[in-house]
Amino acid sequence: MNPRVSVPKIFLRGSRWYVRVQVPKSMQKRLKRKEYWVSLNTSEKSEALQRATAKTQEKRREINAVYRRLEEIRETITELTDEQITALMREEYSLNRIDPDALIVEQQSSGLSWDDFVDQIASRNKAIVASLRAEGYDNPALRIRAHRLMQENGVTCPRSSRAYQQVLEICGHAFAEAKRAELALLEGYPVHENPNPQIINLQTGRPHPIVSLGELLAAPPEPTPSLTTLMEKFLANPNKHRTKKTKDSITLPPSMRRSVRHVFVNLY
């Protein structure tokens, strides 16, 4: 039996479908809004239904992130999780990417031929990356980047914490990855030969979409799993042996489930 899933309601306004996202009551006074109407950018109902959940989650993260900034809510982190590291890495990489048009302007103003310009950039970037590694990804420039990244995401990582060193390393690795990507672009390749899969989608060669750490921290908590879902996980656990008698005693018919729910509602 599959657990019941809540699907956002969609509304047709003119020729476009929208989803209505309510602002939590605790935030309404500060944000001066009770709800947002988010366009699903389609006139097809089937497409709108497919996009509604993702758009709703995205808007809720945005609402929470704005509220945290307005209330100056900062979270202290002593060690980053893998998900948080990936979020910061992608965000920092996006800030270090150089527009191809800017490279063309730089080449034209340098007075060098294209090949000589590429050789100059290659030497410069290799020297910068080698210097970062030699310094253990800890220098004044990286510290400035790290503090800016923490500030933008509303977090504090104490100097003595593992998280602070992780942010420095993230800034260093993201900067180095951006420089390698810059050189590959100059040489006519979409990506360099060994891209970081945390940042680059290896199938498309494009950077992964960005969900900032601030948005992750502002995301609403996951809903509590239903009793039915917990039962199914309990029964399906491959590390536990469930006899038929045990399964039959736990798996209740629909009529009994309604009775059990009625009892719990009356109790609580």
pLDDT in tens, 154-195: 899 999 999 999 999 999 999 999 988 888 888 888 777 788
Task: Give me the amino acid identity at 49.
Answer: L
Is the pLDDT at 266 greater than 70? The verdict is: no
Taking residues 136-146, report their average pLDDT: 91
Residue partners of 1: CB distance under 8 A and separation at least 6: 228, 232
User: 32: exposed, middle or buried (C-beta count within 10 Å: 0-12, 13-18, 19+)?
Assistant: exposed
Higher per-residue pLDDT: 57 or 169: 169
Cα 52 to Cα 8: distance, rounded to the nearest angstrom: 6
Highest average pLDDT, of 19-33, 74-88, 196-210, comes from 74-88
Is the pLDDT at 201 greater than 50? The verdict is: yes
Residue 163: per-residue pLDDT? 95
Q: What is the pLDDT of residues 99-137, one digit of tens each?
A: 778 888 888 898 999 899 999 988 998 898 899 889 888
Is the pLDDT at 262 greater than 90? The verdict is: no
Q: 188: alpha, beta or left, given left = phi > 0 and alpha = psi -120 to 50?
A: left
* Strand partners of residue 10: 19
Confidence at 231, pLDDT banded by 50, 70, 90: low
Residue 3: per-residue pLDDT? 38
Cα 208 to Cα 202: distance, rounded to the nearest angstrom: 9
Cα 117 to Cα 85: distance, rounded to the nearest angstrom: 34
Of all residues in the chain, the percent with pLDDT exceeding 70 is 79
Is the pLDDT at 52 greater than 60? The verdict is: yes
Is the pLDDT at 79 greater than 90? The verdict is: yes
Location of structure tokens 């998280």: 163
Residue 15: per-residue pLDDT? 92
Is the pLDDT at 260 greater than 50? The verdict is: no
Taking residues 66-81, report their average pLDDT: 85
Residue 165: per-residue pLDDT? 94
Is the pLDDT at 258 greater than 70? The verdict is: no
Tokens of 158: 């104490």
Tokens of 85: 């590291």
Higher per-residue pLDDT: 51 or 5: 51
Residue 250: per-residue pLDDT? 52
- CA neighbor of 27 nearest in space, from 58, 70, 74, 75: 70
Confidence at 50, pLDDT banded by 50, 70, 90: confident
Residue 230: per-residue pLDDT? 58
Residue 107: per-residue pLDDT? 87
